[in-house]
Amino acid sequence: MKSDAEFRVRRVYDAPESADGRRILVDRLWPRGLSKERASLDEWLKDVAPSNGLRVAYHAGELDFAAFQGHYQAELDDSEHAAAVEHLLDLAREETVTLVTAVKEPENSHVGVLVAHLGEQGHKPRR
């Protein structure tokens, strides 16, 4: 089902904006050096992030980005991740959702893969 809801992507270290709507951290690990107050999050959705094993393998250089992307796309369809994806889609049907991350280049990370996956579900990203 298509929807008018959109997802924004922002770095957690950037100041929140009124247009952010609901701010959801989509990283497996808490961002370094950042207090919960300063992060200004509505939710931390670890279950939508890559599994710890996949995250570790990618950061250790055992997988290139294309391989990581393929594995993560498959994970997004497993029961643990699919429930978290559906939760994001449900939230986005009601209001703007900003996917918040600590990575420096969200489009070249798990966040870019997640945004593409959400887009396939009928939602488009907003910058």
Predicted structure pTM score: 0.88
With left for phi above 0 and alpha for psi between -120 and 50, is residue 61 left, alpha or beta?
left
90 close to 15: Cβ distance less than 8 angstroms = no
Selection from 43, 42, 70, 41 nearest residue 54 by Cα: 70
Q: 45-103, pLDDT tens digit by residue?
A: 999 999 999 999 999 999 999 999 999 999 999 988 999 999 999 999 899 999 999 99
Side chain identity at residue 35, one-letter code? S
Selection from 63, 42, 38, 43 nearest residue 113 by Cα: 63
